[in-house]
Amino acid sequence: MEVSRHWRLNEQRYALIGETCDSCGTKLFPPRDVCLECEAPAKELYTFTGVGEIYSYTTVYEAPAGFAEYAPYTVALVKLEEGPVVTAQLTDVAKADLHIGMKVEMVTRKLRTDGSEGMIIYGYKFRPQLEMA
């Protein structure tokens, strides 16, 4: 596993830090430095609220290498409230509750581990929004 490749993504993976466009206000995730709407430079950092809804989803039973220990798991396209759609695993969700439009929120979880001696990679997943007791 390349340590540096993961380390470079710490900010966006841990805290959903993307960018905002000075010209038109579009929010970008992942950060691209150029606005997808107006093509102006967009380098100002923006921390997303992490709140969104499920746009679509599928459940993975035959997981790729590195993810087998978590299978079966559900991957979703999550439409963030600021606009961008991100691909992420869902967590803490019962299969029977899953539906398009479900309100979800970002949490930081283990994404994978590099064997028993390698790095533990952390990043964003989404779970159903907590219902306050």
Q: Which residues of the shown chain bind another protein in the complex (CB under 8 A)?
A: 10-11, 14-15, 47, 69-70, 89, 91-92, 94, 107-111, 120, 122, 125, 130-133
Closer to another protein by Cβ: residue 55 or 70: 70
Closer to another protein by Cβ: residue 34 or 119: 119
Nearest to 99 by CA among 48, 53, 33: 53
Distances (CA, A) of 12 to 3, 46, 70: 16, 10, 22
Closer to another protein by Cβ: residue 39 or 92: 92
